[in-house]
A and B are shown apart, each in its own frame.
Chain A
């Protein structure tokens, strides 16, 4: 029933045969049937560059993680969850300090989004249960957290023994995990942070803020050790940092390659499957790196052959519409003839990292890159602006995700800043990163098609 789908996700025939009992159990729990598999196949072919082996391998990693997540209680003694915006390296350090057979580590919200959302378009039932279970509709809850709660309450995935979470970007994890703790009795190791510098501080970091974050990280690690009953090891930290650095460097090179290539070699919707692994700890470190290297090589070959998904010379845009549950908006934008050169948060600019005064220290405790993102609203705006400059774009699409406390405050400021400084058109596109009920491709198409005409006219005028 699902053989063809798993093949599209890079599974080899012998793996499908070997894994079938586990996959059957997991898919039954998820309520997936033939219609879902057909829809999944169609979506993979319709929205992604499915002919690329590297992409199929990434899809395979997500699909395996889904099966592992659903069967976690059957197969492991202890379960640890996290989710965005917790940074990957501390999570990986914790995961690698534990025994693989004993402890399951995962980011359920993100895994469900990338599979049940991206592939099967079946995310809403989880959100609805989340809404009925303490995160009601109309209260601007983040659907990422509604989804993970809904999946637990529905019994599709188990409740964890520990949740490790951070407030780098917004207050939603704190609220959601308080609910998880108070109502469902799940212990929560929480990394608090405060993102309140003055306008004009960027790129300087407030010393007391960094110290506070550090003390919070230490507290979180101690709680993890107590509850899971293990010791954080130097080797685990080193392995996490090393593998993360190698993956990020390769990923950044790939982003640069795609962003400067003409024509655009692959869809940004495909790249999202690699990007979101930046937030998911997986024990398949080798497989993840191998998938990225294969994808990078395939893209390089496309660029060398001058192949792409758009015509050469298509206007290029910077676009922040990275929707983890749905590839259709990204593809819709590309299909209007706009090349998406760079899609934040796909790329942390090297110039941002090199200016970071606490880089060495934060690298040491494993929270480095994440400190760059949530510095302030000012940093948000300026990083977006710098990305527009770095990729010499003809326009920008600034996504306005409902219920996202991190992104929303800067959307209009960024629009004005880019328009004023670079003189290029900027579209504000309303939607949601995690809840497809809040928008539709059809509804957004009028805006995007109009904007595409604006950008094309602007580019033509500039050339003349």
Chain B
């Protein structure tokens, strides 16, 4: 796309494993955002989600001064002027919304990250897991399927647990087997779900120790919508956690803000 320096409206497009997100900003304000499933084509998802965000803002593609793509599909967004990693974008997006944030925990569909954030929104250090489904949204999806639950139900269900199960396997496949055994032992659905949340949180909490957890800790990504994982993470790292209103769009927001910097 041609860079239009006269136009201060910019967009960030985050194409993740599960969902594609676009955020449109101008002068430090979010004009609109959209989220859709990524589906089978990164290019199509990017176009579709950006069109949706533009429509919501009453804009069209030529109105955008600069577009930055991010996420695992960042290099497949043909209309983007630049691609930036989601780690940098998450730090920037969180810093914009919560300037006191110093640590970001991002759990998405296929990976998880712990990011150290400087006062200026730049990354100080990071660690990432994208080799193993345990500790990611995918792990939760598999377990929800085993239990016959919708993914959205898991958080509220876990809150009524009296005695969370201990899921000792760190591998998704073995954890699934373990779940089936625990269910056969008669453990309640609530305890099983709470145990699953603990397993995810424990995996991420340990991974992030190399970066270190400093307040304020902010939780982003689709999994941040799960209150059970949030609670388990707080207990795992021993610090309170904030969740932005729309945790899924933080990467796209950061990308849109970085795009704005490109114009200046």
A residues apposed to B, CB below 8 Å: 412, 415, 425, 428, 430, 443, 446-447, 449-450, 453-454, 457
Please pick, from B122, B124, B125, B131, the residue contacting A430 in the complex, using a CB distance under 8 A.
Answer: B131
| Most chain B beta-carbon contacts within 10 A, residue among A412, A450, A454, A457 | A450
Residue of B whose beta carbon sits closest to that of A419: B125
Please judge, given known A-B contacts A428-B210, A443-B130, A446-B72, whether A454 and B123 are in contact too, CB under 8 Å: yes
In whole angstroms, what is the CA distance A453 to B72 when docked?
A: 17
Residues in A whose Cβ lies below 8 Å from that of B114: none
In whole angstroms, what is the CA distance A257 to B247 when docked?
A: 49
In whole angstroms, what is the CA distance A449 to B126 when docked?
A: 12
Please pick, from A415, A428, A443, A453, the residue contacting B123 in the complex, using a CB distance under 8 A.
Answer: A453
Within 8 A of A (CB), among B108-149: 122-128, 130-131
In whole angstroms, what is the CA distance A408 to B130 when docked?
A: 19
Residues in B whose Cβ lies below 8 Å from that of A449: 84-85
Please judge, given known A-B contacts A412-B210, A428-B210, A457-B122, whether A450 and B88 are in contact too, CB under 8 Å: yes
**In the complex, are the beta carbons of B210 and A453 less than 8 A apart?**
no
State the main secondary structure of chain A at its contact with B. Answer: helix
Residues in B whose Cβ lies below 8 Å from that of A428: 127, 210
Residues in B whose Cβ lies below 8 Å from that of A430: 131
Q: Is B86 an interface residue (CB 8 A)?
A: yes
Please pick, from B72, B84, B125, B131, the residue contacting A425 in the complex, using a CB distance under 8 A.
Answer: B125
Residue of B whose beta carbon sits closest to that of A443: B130
Q: Is B252 an interface residue (CB 8 A)?
A: no
Within 8 A of A (CB), among B70-128: 72, 84-88, 122-128
In whole angstroms, what is the CA distance A430 to B128 when docked?
A: 10
Please judge, given known A-B contacts A415-B210, A428-B210, A453-B88, whether A446 and B123 are in contact too, CB under 8 Å: no
What are 29 inter-chain pairs, A to B, with CB distance below 8 A? A415-B210, A425-B125, A428-B127, A428-B210, A430-B131, A443-B130, A443-B131, A446-B72, A446-B85, A446-B86, A446-B87, A446-B128, A446-B130, A447-B87, A447-B126, A447-B128, A449-B84, A449-B85, A450-B85, A450-B87, A450-B88, A450-B123, A450-B126, A453-B84, A453-B123, A454-B123, A454-B124, A454-B125, A457-B122
**Beyond A447-B126, A454-B125, 9 additional pairs, beta carbon < 8 A:** A428-B127, A428-B210, A430-B131, A446-B72, A446-B87, A446-B128, A450-B85, A450-B87, A457-B122
Closest 4 CB pairs of A and B: A450-B87, A450-B85, A449-B85, A446-B85
Residue of B whose beta carbon sits closest to that of A439: B131
- Minimum CB–CB distance from A417 to chain B (whole Å) comes to 13
Contact with A along B186-227 (1 / 0, CB 8 A): 000000000000000000000000100000000000000000
- Minimum CB–CB distance from B165 to chain A (whole Å) comes to 26
Residue of A whose beta carbon sits closest to that of B125: A425
- Minimum CB–CB distance from B223 to chain A (whole Å) comes to 18
B residues apposed to A, CB below 8 Å: 72, 84-88, 122-128, 130-131, 210
- Minimum CB–CB distance from B91 to chain A (whole Å) comes to 9
In whole angstroms, what is the CA distance A428 to B124 when docked?
A: 14
A-B contact count (CB 8 A): 33
In whole angstroms, what is the CA distance A449 to B124 when docked?
A: 14
Residue of B whose beta carbon sits closest to that of A447: B128
In whole angstroms, what is the CA distance A428 to B88 when docked?
A: 17
Residues in B whose Cβ lies below 8 Å from that of A412: 210
Residues in A whose Cβ lies below 8 Å from that of B86: 446
In whole angstroms, what is the CA distance A447 to B210 when docked?
A: 15
- Minimum CB–CB distance from A23 to chain B (whole Å) comes to 39
Residues in A whose Cβ lies below 8 Å from that of B122: 454, 457
In whole angstroms, what is the CA distance A242 to B55 when docked?
A: 75
Residues in B whose Cβ lies below 8 Å from that of A446: 72, 85-87, 128, 130
| Most chain B beta-carbon contacts within 10 A, residue among A425, A430, A446, A447 | A446
Residue of A whose beta carbon sits closest to that of B127: A428
Residues in A whose Cβ lies below 8 Å from that of B128: 446-447
Residues in A whose Cβ lies below 8 Å from that of B87: 446-447, 450
- Minimum CB–CB distance from B93 to chain A (whole Å) comes to 14
Residues in B whose Cβ lies below 8 Å from that of A453: 84-85, 88, 123
In whole angstroms, what is the CA distance A446 to B251 when docked?
A: 14
In whole angstroms, what is the CA distance A443 to B111 when docked?
A: 11
In whole angstroms, what is the CA distance A428 to B208 when docked?
A: 13
In whole angstroms, what is the CA distance A443 to B130 when docked?
A: 8
Residues in B whose Cβ lies below 8 Å from that of A443: 130-131
Residue of B whose beta carbon sits closest to that of A453: B88
Residues in B whose Cβ lies below 8 Å from that of A450: 85, 87-88, 123, 126
In whole angstroms, what is the CA distance A309 to B189 when docked?
A: 58
- Minimum CB–CB distance from B62 to chain A (whole Å) comes to 29
Residues in A whose Cβ lies below 8 Å from that of B125: 425, 454
In whole angstroms, what is the CA distance A449 to B86 when docked?
A: 10
- Minimum CB–CB distance from A272 to chain B (whole Å) comes to 25
- Minimum CB–CB distance from B103 to chain A (whole Å) comes to 16
Residues in A whose Cβ lies below 8 Å from that of B130: 443, 446
- Minimum CB–CB distance from A438 to chain B (whole Å) comes to 8
- Minimum CB–CB distance from B47 to chain A (whole Å) comes to 22
- Minimum CB–CB distance from A443 to chain B (whole Å) comes to 6
Residues in A whose Cβ lies below 8 Å from that of B127: 428
In whole angstroms, what is the CA distance A412 to B127 when docked?
A: 12
- Minimum CB–CB distance from A418 to chain B (whole Å) comes to 12
Residues in B whose Cβ lies below 8 Å from that of A415: 210
Residue of B whose beta carbon sits closest to that of A442: B72
Residues in A whose Cβ lies below 8 Å from that of B84: 449, 453
- Minimum CB–CB distance from A267 to chain B (whole Å) comes to 22
In whole angstroms, what is the CA distance A428 to B84 when docked?
A: 20
In whole angstroms, what is the CA distance A425 to B72 when docked?
A: 23
In whole angstroms, what is the CA distance A385 to B52 when docked?
A: 51
- Minimum CB–CB distance from B145 to chain A (whole Å) comes to 25
In whole angstroms, what is the CA distance A428 to B211 when docked?
A: 11
In whole angstroms, what is the CA distance A453 to B89 when docked?
A: 12
Residues in B whose Cβ lies below 8 Å from that of A457: 122
Residues in B whose Cβ lies below 8 Å from that of A454: 122-125
In whole angstroms, what is the CA distance A443 to B128 when docked?
A: 11
